[in-house]
Structure formats: structure tokens, C-alpha cells
Chain A
């Protein structure tokens, strides 16, 4: 059974600081997703990481994937209040295309304080 462990589950940080969210998973996979969810809303796709060593950046967020270590990170640089949300990583256990559905981590509830 695929397990996806995300930590921390809760993070309160000040604006301007940097921090990293970690996502470990238990089985081989070449596809890892990061999503943002605001309260009462659905998921907003942030990154899709498709290969070992993949690194993607969008604004203050940067995601990376190490398939050998089965680890992905989401790094936040110089956080701003608007980034407050819950962040999920999700792993595709199939050979590709999300054919088996995704397994989600428990989410990291991020609060960024002025």
C-alpha cells in the first residue's frame, strides 16, 4: 500500500522567512504533484514533477523531486501572507497518466503572519 507522508502538518511562520515542506512516499513513482487548497475550495495545481531531479519554480515556491530517496520538497522563499493555505503533495502510483488515482499526503496547513 502506497503511503505518502507529509511534514510538517502545521506551520506558522512570519512573512519574509523561508521554509520547506517535505513529502516522503513509500513506493516507486515518477510522478509527484503539489496542490494548494484554500478553505472551502478545490485544489489548485502548483507543480507536476515527472522525473528524478526535477525542479520547478513559480514565484516564491520551488518544488523538487528525488525519486531515489522518494522525497519531494516544496520550498517557500520570503513568504508572504497570500501564501497561507493548505498544501498537499500527491503521488501517482501508476505507470503514468494518473490511471490509478492519486494518493495524497495529509496536507500542510500553512499560516503566514505579518
Chain B
């Protein structure tokens, strides 16, 4: 079964509204989660690294005030797209690192955001 849950899987919103996407690690604690964005027929681009209890680290060119990341617990990171515009329409995917002797990276199921 899925070890990283991402919700919602699909969201349609009006331009100017904000959308929150949740990423949960189900059976492990994740001090680090990642948020990626994928435009149609393109690759995944790392947006930011979400660190539990501290500020997220954003990749160059990603607006931190537009893409708010909160990693308030060891099992939950949220990405809020503020004042969404049509150009923000994309597939957003989170991933979480399960650290330990069997380190592994898990991906969420993705969120398709469509901004009208």
C-alpha cells in the first residue's frame, strides 16, 4: 500500500484563490519532504525541500511567497499555492525520505491542479 499519501488528487479552482495540498508519510517519520512540479509532457522539477520544524529551502526561480510550505510535524508537509493563476496549473508531486538502515524515497500520488 501507499506509504506517502497526497491529497487532493485533483483540484480545480478559480484564479486568485489559494489551494492547499497535503503530503503525509503514513508509517514513518519524515524530517525531509520534497515538492516537485511537472508540466504536461515534461520532467519533474524540484521546487523546494521541506524541513520539519524549520523553513523550507526553495530552488532558484521558485517564489517562496507564492508557494508556501509548512512542515509542522514529522508526518505532514503542506504546499499552499497562493493567489493561483492559470500558469500555476500543473501536476504537483511530493516525496518523503524514510531514513535509517533501509533508506528509501517514496512519492505521493500527485495532485493535478487546474486554475481557471
Contacts and interface: CB of A to CB of B under 8 A. Distances in A.
Contacts of B44: 43, 88, 90, 102, 104
A42 B110 contact: yes
Contacts of A40: 112
Contacts of A96: 103
A102 B38 CA distance: 13
Nearest to B48: A101
Q: State the main secondary structure of chain B at its contact with A.
A: strand
Contacts of B108: 42
A41 B112 CA distance: 9
Contact of A88 (B43, B105, B109, B110): B43
A43 B93 contact: yes
Contacts, number: 53
A105 B42 CA distance: 10
B107 interface: yes
Interface string A26-43: 000000010100001111
A61 B45 CA distance: 25
22 contacts: A33-B105, A41-B109, A41-B110, A42-B93, A42-B107, A43-B44, A43-B93, A43-B107, A45-B105, A90-B44, A97-B99, A98-B32, A98-B95, A98-B97, A99-B32, A101-B49, A102-B46, A102-B95, A103-B46, A105-B43, A106-B43, A109-B41
